[in-house]
A = this chain, B = another copy of it.
Amino acid sequence: MVGNSLGKEFIVTTFGESHGKHVGVLIDGCPSGLSISEEDFQEELDQRIPTQTKIVSTRIEKDKAKILSGVFNGKTTGAPIAITVDNKEVNSIDYDQIKDVPRPSHSDYSARIRYGGFNDYRGGGRFSGRVTVAMILAGTIAKKLLCRCNIDVLAYTIAIGKIRSEKRFSVNEIRKNRNIAVTRCPDLVCNEKMEETIVAAKSAGDSVGGIIECVVLNMPKGIGDPLFDALDADLAKAIFGVSAVKGVEFGAGFASTEMLGSQNNDAFILKNKCVESVTNNAGGILGGISSGMPIIVRVAIKPTPSISMEQKTVNLSTMEETMLNVKGRHDPCIVPKAVPVIEAAVALTLVDHLIRAGYISKVIREGENIVGRSSDIT
């Protein structure tokens, strides 16, 4: 209600700050009977550790999830699940300079206004990318539930700065390549150019942004609550909950505005007696409801606002203009780290809608189909 929760039936609330003791998440509405262990979170958390330090911040975060509640005998109980990760290696001194001197294009200034100056400004506090760990924790559970429904969610980088991959890959290729690629781009040729772009920005004390694409395969038809709880509306809301996001588009997105209706329309056909469409410019969502075609969403990530180049800003205690050199470790490009976060945002929204639709049962049993009655009438 007041900002830190997502979802209506699978409700995820995050807590914690960059330089506090913990970041964590509380999940209310997870079906009972799902197998969960603290190890389940490790693979997802480890994705955030840079495979190659030349393009990312040298702050190494070895995170470990602790389950505080809601799991008994290795299974969810239906009660709220609280999970935390400790914050280690926190060096708050690096950030003391920003107390009164807001970093351009960070939330320092607007947060100070919003919270009357009582916000924890250290490292961006509540607005730090660090807090997205909480989304990854919740996303891990969401993806376990989607896996039981045979639904695949897959995010990957398609552009870094001006380098954009236009090549299409199979799910298996994406899955394999994005783990090899430092940039999480499955197009390994592009990946190398992207890496060069990031290294160049880093050398200049500058930063770059990029575009992340996320696809959802085997999405059941008929999911979404239009008009205002439309599936695309809720996906966009969850994704814009990540601070660095400046744009979201589905299917052909902004490109559809330059197409004719006859080019953009996705003709329906029969394939193995199922209704599909020849093209998928809609990105799998029609009128806010899933059509059964893959959901495709693309997300614009702005260049990291923390750069080591000198920038103009205002000292809010003296109310004088000043120059700022942001100290500390900065990622010259946060796109690779944002990939699992966008994937988590999508997974959380899907699970919430699937539970609301009655598609995922409230009680899950080993070896049983967890999928509720299909409302598919075709």
Contacts and interface: CB of A to CB of B under 8 A. Distances in A.
A127 B115 CA distance: 36
Contacts of A230: 3, 240-241, 243
B2 A28 contact: yes
A48 interface: no
Contact of A237 (B70, B233, B377): B233
A68 B16 contact: yes
Nearest to A241: B228
Interface in A69-125: 69-70, 72, 75-82, 84, 102, 104-107, 109-120, 122, 125
Interface in A11-31: 11, 13-17, 20-24, 26, 28-29
A80 B14 CA distance: 8
Interface in A228-283: 228-230, 232-234, 236-238, 240-241, 243, 245-254, 256-270, 273, 275, 277-278, 281-283
A160 to B, nearest CB: 8
A361 interface: yes
A233 B241 contact: yes
A221 interface: yes
A313 B276 CA distance: 9
A336 interface: no
A16 B275 contact: no
Contacts of A186: none
A217 to B, nearest CB: 17
B256 A303 contact: yes
Interface stretch (A53-61, A174-182, A284-292): A284-292
Contacts of A118: 32-33, 72, 75-78, 363
Given A5-B28, A131-B227, A309-B262, A363 B115 contact: yes
Interface string A289-316: 1111000000011111111010111101
B16 A69 contact: yes
Contacts of A114: 78, 222-224, 289, 375
A266 to B, nearest CB: 5
A329 interface: no
Interface stretch (A38-46, A142-150, A165-173, A201-209): A201-209
A120 to B, nearest CB: 4
Contacts of A265: 104-105, 303, 305, 307, 311
Contact of A72 (B17, B223, B306): B17
A337 interface: no
A260 B16 contact: no
Given A275-B109, A282-B105, A77 B115 contact: yes
23 contacts: A1-B29, A2-B356, A5-B28, A13-B28, A16-B82, A17-B69, A21-B69, A22-B69, A110-B222, A113-B377, A115-B363, A117-B377, A227-B241, A236-B240, A246-B254, A248-B248, A252-B302, A259-B302, A262-B307, A263-B303, A265-B311, A358-B358, A372-B372
Given A107-B286, A275-B314, 11 more contacts: A1-B29, A72-B118, A106-B287, A107-B288, A109-B275, A110-B287, A113-B289, A116-B375, A233-B241, A261-B304, A268-B321
| 6 nearest CB pairs, A to B | A107-B287, A3-B225, A116-B363, A247-B249, A207-B261, A113-B222
